[in-house]
């Protein structure tokens, strides 16, 4: 996420995401969880943002959130991301420079789809607080563990440690 993207920071959640994602190693850990475990990075960021608001979610809470975003993710973000990734360095009939310009446009559309998902998640919080009150650090770890249980996978401990450490660094 770049400084130009900051200008679209429309919610506290989006601004949190931009700040958190810029922390050392966070983007790599998020992408590793996305590619290796099928994590929805926007949902993961939302769980960290909720933790920054001292909100701890149960497995059922996280499952409900995942159910709410699934259709949008599968209809927009995943196929757009796949197209963007396939375009990188692919040999096609289009001149490479023009293809890269097009790929960057696809990347901008992908980012807009992610921003819209985050905006919808943020709007969901307006109906009332999610989860229960808990210290931010505890909430972050519990929320990530609940997401792993919803996914039915074990997140690599190194990625979890990096993310929770970065979170602790900005949440304190």
5, pLDDT greater than 50: no
d(CA 133, CA 128): 13
Tokens at 137, concatenated? 């650090």
131, pLDDT greater than 80: yes
Yes or no: say if 146 and 154 are a contact pair by the CB < 8 Å rule: no
Mean per-residue pLDDT, 143-161 = 97
pLDDT bin (cut points 50, 70, 90) of residue 10 is confident
Yes or no: say if 90 and 75 are a contact pair by the CB < 8 Å rule: no
Residues contacting 122, CB < 8 A, separation 6+: 11, 12, 13, 14
- What pLDDT, on a 0 to 100 scale, did the predictor assign at position 127? 85
125, pLDDT greater than 80: yes
Measure Cα distances from 124 to 46, 90, 91, 98, 147 in Å. Answer: 11, 39, 42, 40, 18
4, pLDDT greater than 80: no
Tens digits of per-residue pLDDT, 92-115?
999 999 999 999 999 999 999 999
Mean per-residue pLDDT, 8-17 = 84
Return the H-helix or E-strand segment holding 96.
helix 96-124
12, pLDDT greater than 90: yes
Rounded to two decimals, the pTM is 0.90
Mean per-residue pLDDT, 66-92 = 96
1, pLDDT greater than 80: no
- What pLDDT, on a 0 to 100 scale, did the predictor assign at position 158? 97
Phi and psi based region of residue 158 (left: phi greater than 0; alpha: psi -120 to 50; beta: remaining): alpha
Q: Which residues pair with 133 in a beta bridge?
A: 55
d(CA 64, CA 46): 13
d(CA 16, CA 12): 6
């Amino acid at each position: 996420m770049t400084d130009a993207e900051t200008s679209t920071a429309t919610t506290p959640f989006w601004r949190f995401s931009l700040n958190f994602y810029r922390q050392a190693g966070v983007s790599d850990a998020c992408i590793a969880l996305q590619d290796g475990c099928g994590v929805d990075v926007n949902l993961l960021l939302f769980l960290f943002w909720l933790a920054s608001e001292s909100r701890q979610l149960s497995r059922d809470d996280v499952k409900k959130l995942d159910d709410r975003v699934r259709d949008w993710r599968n209809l927009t973000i995943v196929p757009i991301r796949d197209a963007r990734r396939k375009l990188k360095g692919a040999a096609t009939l289009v001149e490479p420079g023009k293809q890269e310009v097009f790929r960057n446009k696809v990347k901008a559309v992908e980012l807009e789809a992610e921003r819209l998902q985050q905006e919808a998640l943020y709007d969901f919080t307006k109906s009332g607080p999610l989860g229960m009150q808990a210290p931010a650090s505890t909430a972050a770890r519990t929320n990530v563990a609940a997401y792993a249980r919803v996914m039915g996978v074990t997140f690599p401990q190194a990625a979890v440690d990096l993310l929770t450490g970065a979170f602790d660094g900005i949440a304190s």
